[in-house]
Amino acid sequence: MANTLTLSKDQLVQKALTQMQGSLADNTWTVREKLALTCRILFDNGHDSGLAGQISARGEQPGTFYTQQLGLGFDEITASNLLLVNEDLEVLEGEGMPNPANRFHSWVYRARPDVNCIIHTHPTHVAALSMLEVPLQVSHMDLCPLYEDCAFLEAWPGVPVGNEEGEIISAALGDKRAILLSHHGQLSTGTSIEQACVYAQLIERAARLQLLAMAAGTIKPIAPELGRDAHDWIDRPKRHGAAFNYYARQALRSHADCLN
C-alpha cells in the first residue's frame, strides 16, 4: 500500500534529498584526475575550440592553481601533464607554459573565495549566441541551475591576457555561478570541479536551446518562483557529483589514458 501519496511536495523533496545523501556515491578521483576528466568530457561535448579555453582548479597552497599546458588540446590533457602555477602564471610543477589568458583566473579566485574551479571555453552555440550581444535566457526546467545565476558581459574587453580583463570579468561575474561573454565565450565556476563541469555543460545546452527557440518564435519566460525552486532543487553537490560521474564514465570509454 502506498504511504507517500498524501505527503506534501516539501515533504517529498526532503525525502528525496535524504535518499540522495545515502544512495549517490562520491567519486575518489584526485584533483588532477578530475581536471583531466573534465577536459575530455568537454572535448566530447562541443567545447573544443583548438587551443582556446582554460580549465583550472585551486591548488593546495593559497594563490596556486592547476591548469593545462598551452599547446595541448582538451583531448590531450592527462592528470600528469597538468601544470601547477602561481598567480603570476609561473610554473611550480610540470613542464611547458600555461595559457597567458589564465591571468583572469587569478582575479576570479581572488574575488570569489567560494570558487575552487573555473572553466572558460568557446563552445559553438555559446559563441554564436555571444555574437548577438544578448544575455542567456533560462526558460526550461533542465536549465534552471542557471536561473538568475548567469551574468552577462555585453562589452567585449579584448583578448584576456591583461589585468584589465581580469578586473572586468571578475566584476561582471559578481556572485553568479556563470557568465556569458559577448563576442567571446562562457565562464563557469564551482565550489567543486564537478559543479563547474556540470555548469559548463549546461550553459552550452542552454545557448543551443535559446538559438533554436529564437529561430522559431518568441521565448516565453518561466515564473520566477518556479525557476528559483528548480534552481535550488537541481543545484546540489550530490546531483552534480552524480552527473559528473556519469559524464566521466562516458569519457573513460574512449579516453582512459586521461587518468595517467
Q: Model confidence over 217-257: pLDDT tens digits?
A: 999 999 999 999 999 999 999 999 999 999 999 999 999 99
Instruction: Judge whether residue 173 has pLDDT over 90.
Output: yes
Burial (0-12, 13-18, 19+ Cβ within 10 Å), 228: middle
208, three cell numbers:
543551443
The helix (run of H) or strand (run of E) holding residue 111 is helix 103-111
**Torsional class of 53: left (φ above 0), alpha (ψ -120 to 50), beta (otherwise):** left
Instruction: Judge whether residue 1 has pLDDT over 80.
Output: no
Helix and strand tally (H, E) in the chain? Answer: 8, 8
CA-wise closest residue to 83 among 59, 103, 105: 59
Q: What is the predicted pLDDT for the residue at 15?
A: 92
Instruction: Judge whether residue 134 has pLDDT over 80.
Output: yes
Quick: pLDDT tens for 24-41.
999 999 999 999 999 999
Average pLDDT across the chain, whole number: 96
91, three cell numbers:
610554473
Largest CA distance in the chain: 65
Q: Which residues of 147-177 are buried (b: 16+ CB within 10 A; e: fewer)?
A: bebbbbbeeebeebeeeebbebbbebbeebb
Taking the C-alpha atoms of residue 31 and residue 34, their distance in angstroms, rounded to an integer, is: 5
Question: What's the whole-number mean pLDDT along residues 83-108?
Answer: 96
Global pTM? 0.95
Give me the half-sphere count of Cα atoms (radius 13 Å) on the Cβ side of residue 11.
6
